[in-house]
Amino acid sequence: MTQISRFTGEIVPIAQVVTGDGDESAAPEGGGGFADYALVSLHCLRIYLDTSYRMTIDLLKEMPQITGEIGLSKADLPAPSTL
């Protein structure tokens, strides 16, 4: 398990509790946007990785395990401007 994976494993449950999105899907079907916890988790990863929004999304496209821990797939990742 990598440091990024451990960090993600710790931050996602915290984000779910803080946002009240415990049972919500990270990317609801039908274009319903993203769960708040998913956006908070992505933002925390951006800070942890010390990268721009665009670079964070580009990196996560190559990290299916990390995006899976958040509940997203590569196709579900938001545009950098969404973050």
pLDDT in tens, 26-71: 877 766 688 889 999 999 999 999 999 999 999 999 999 999 999 9
- The domain ranges of the chain are 3-70
First to last CA, the chain: 26
pLDDT for the residue 5: 93
Work out the average pLDDT over 10-24.
88
Q: What is the mean pLDDT of residues 11-18?
A: 93
Confidence band, pLDDT 50/70/90 cuts, at residue 80: confident
In this prediction the pTM is 0.87
Nearest Cα residue to 9 out of 18, 1, 17 = 1
